[in-house]
Amino acid sequence: MKSNLMHLVPPVSRDRIISQFPKWYTPEACLQFKEHFHAEVKTACQQSMRTAGLKISKVVVVGDVYVGKTSLINRWDTAGQEKFKCIASAYYRGAEVIITVFDLADIQTLDHTKQWLEDALRENEPNSSFIFLVGTKKDLVSDAVCERTELDAIRFANEMQAEYWSVSAKTGENVKEFFSRVAALAFEQSMIKELEKTAGHMTQIGTGSLIKLEENMMEIPEGNSQVSLSCC
């Protein structure tokens, strides 16, 4: 659905407008099978008087060195420097979305994702974050290798209560679809929380900050970009 309030926020190109809930990558490792936004969120986006201001949604991205995190989101990287480890907890804290990344061409990096997730979850309330497991560099492996690796990845995702995706930053395969799904989940959750807080009150969309993708690229050796989302 297209918002009637588009004039209140900076123009958004049509290819960035999410009119329907983005589809999951594979049903074997999917947390939600919804196809539409929550009814109250739809209504809030369509109304011109009673809508919710959006808060910042924090997304952290974690994984081993050189698994493709920087290419995936094109942001800063601490390159495994030990001196940055002490500030990792500050970046983990308050994450609405945690993305754990591994290299499809290096199965060992998949094994390390559980530890990365544990570190991030330690700084957040239980069940407060959406969790994604993402395999990168899909263009570097054959279909057969990818299929075999994904079997293990899906098993890991189920154990981690994460949603699994495989992507290629080089070719762009699944990248837009993945981030659209992340944005939609974060947007919907943010809207629902705001609607609960402002029940019976008049607020206007845009009074809060638009969804923002922050990242924690903290890395250890072996062992503020903004995303605008127009719902509806």
Q: Give the domains, in start order, of the chain with CATH numbers.
A: 51-219 (3.40.50.300)
The residue that leads in pLDDT, 191 or 139, is 139
Predicted local distance difference test score (pLDDT) of residue 4? 46
* pLDDT at residue number 218: 37
Is pLDDT at 216 greater than 90 in this prediction?
Answer: no
Report which of residues 88 and 195 the model is more confident about.
195
CA distances (Å), origin 58, targets 66, 114, 224: 23, 20, 10
pLDDT at residue 135 above 50?
A: yes
Range of 32-46, 77-91, 145-159 with top mean pLDDT = 145-159
> What confidence score (pLDDT) does residue 227 get?
38
Q: Determine if the pTM surpasses 0.95.
A: no
Mean pLDDT of 200-211: 46
Least confident window among 57-61, 68-72, 81-85, 184-188: 81-85
Rounded Cα distance, 46 and 215, in Å: 31
